[in-house]
Structure 1
């Protein structure tokens, strides 16, 4: 039986239909729209297919329209620049003739140079934290049947949460989260797979951090959606191993929340950073 991680990896393996055109398909997450992390990962794969032997060091994307999980997504890559050290690509994801997502990506040859980093927060190791299944079993009485079905769905990423956050009964908390992530299946030696699946995972949990100080969540009627997403890869890593994403929301205003995060290995190496702004609209707030 095909597991969700197998399905996600299969969907990240895009079909090339022309030199700079790729076609991808979606895994339904039960929300009626394409998961943003999937589009980021597929757009990155499309860009990587046009670059030789240079890993991505940054990406900057905008979510323009909800994607339909029942339709294929066409990824058009624009080869902006091929320089001596850096390569730049622009990717547009298209459905029904309209752009649903656009992303600029940059690739860099390996260079030695100056190095420093922030210190990893002191948090419990993933082995000392409960699994998602253990947390769900403890809190299942708090969920409606529909919520429970959603929480029980299979996920391609294993997660261990440091903070005790309950989206069904949210309470006001500091806008900080620490979550350990890793792939549920070994990814092999293709570094592009590791980058794309971490990019996929980077859209999981970020926006909820900005909701914590307000005691609101998508489960209590808050309308949420990712608006833009930026990511930087600082050092090589393996997503077969645990990665801590330390998240902090520094602001929310105008029905938008802003979050930034740092990504650490268990050994304390800072391997990536991410920033996102997302929609957080109260359901009774009129749409402009």
Structure 2
């Protein structure tokens, strides 16, 4: 009898071990192959600057209240509150110690596209790599090249303030397994170049869905409610629905949207408010063509009430 139970327990332990090994394999950090970063050539700094603005880098990583050229100092430190705790935005300036000045292109690229940190660890999706994943290695090369031209800052951001179990980074592997992918949110494969450009800007570097799409209890975006609005992830008020089915933005023309991005004024002569203030400031740096592409995409997505 004892031998029988020993065999049963041994078999059970083996099954558990296999399950743990399989779970680790499926959820471990997965950087891109090294050759993804080979042969990209010199970065296009103008395109890199466009990605910098549409990506909202200054909105999160500049010091609070920064104006003028100071918005290009990526000193970090801004607290981002969430149901999971408070995240402190890191320094991503060109400083080699406090910032990312000593990072390689591959290290930067894996953070952007795979949510993998310099030390090979999972990054929290408070950094929107879940959207940036739709960028290409060429895009990353251009952005990284531009960011290396920006001023350095020696500011050291405080650590995140997260309770158990959210302070265990290994759990992020499971979260990525469930929610992280780089597939398009809307099928526009047969659309014209303008619409596809708008889709790239909104779904990729612009990461509009990170705020404008509701999330489930685990923090994953609800695919069936793309851009339908939802609770403010920082806890106050609501982020609006920006699909054509919206009771407010839905009635705006493409021209109204472009003007809003450029000036911050709505068709009713109201002005941009809340967290959208920083977003609008960033978008105002984009070309007319890119803003028109974003507007065209927002009018093409499925209606949500």
TM norm. shorter chain > 0.5? no
Q: TM range, normalised to the smaller chain?
A: under 0.3
Is the radius of gyration larger for structure 1 or structure 2? Answer: 2
TM-score w.r.t. length of structure 1: 0.24
**Greater strand share, 1 or 2?**
1
TM-score, L = length of structure 2: 0.23
